[in-house]
Amino acid sequence: MMCSHFSANWRNPASTSTKFSGCVEYAAAFALALSGDSSELQKLGEDLAKRFPEDTPVQFEYLPTLRALFALHDNAPSDAIESLQTALPYDLAMPGTAFFAKFGGLYPAYVRGQAYLEAGRGREEAWNSKESWIIAALFLPIR
């Protein structure tokens, strides 16, 4: 669902429009989750999963991140961390949203960092992997 594929698919506006709407839907769901309004979050996530079953960013970045945000809203940081396991190989990847709309990069890593903090494991996890060093450098407060 690369939002940046407009130039590559300019001859198929229907495909481009559908894929772009998925990016907008992810952005809306992410914003709703961060604002604390999770009432629509699960519906938006289910819709993305149904409409983009073979899309790599949707399946391995967007949906795990949305599921993790939903788990954090339910005060279940361990479930959030588990939801993000499938996103680990893509933590440093730039999703389609990052190329076109300039958002979405490192969102799984950010949410994972939030989950570790809520689970009381922030500093412990900061030392466990290369990706965690990036999370620590970007998101953990310096004391």
**Mean pLDDT over each residue of the chain, to the nearest integer:** 76
111-139: average pLDDT: 73
Domains of the chain, by residue range, sit at 3-139
List, as one string, the DSSP characters of 52-75. -TT-HHIIIIIHHHHHHHHHHHTT
- Both tokens of 8, joined, read 């590559």
Distance, in Å, from the CA atom of 56 to the CA atom of 34, rounded to the nearest integer, reads 23
60-71: average pLDDT: 92
pLDDT of residue 54 exceeding 70: yes
pLDDT, tens digit, 9 for 90 and up, residues 70-111: 999 999 999 999 999 999 888 777 766 666 556 667 788 889
pTM of the complete model:
0.74
Distance, in Å, from the CA atom of 107 to the CA atom of 88, rounded to the nearest integer, reads 11
pLDDT of residue 57 exceeding 60: yes
DSSP state of 102: S
Q: What distances in angstroms separate CA 83 from CA 17, 27, 102, 122, 140, one per listed residue?
A: 29, 18, 24, 17, 21
109-134: average pLDDT: 76
- Both tokens of 68, joined, read 């993790």
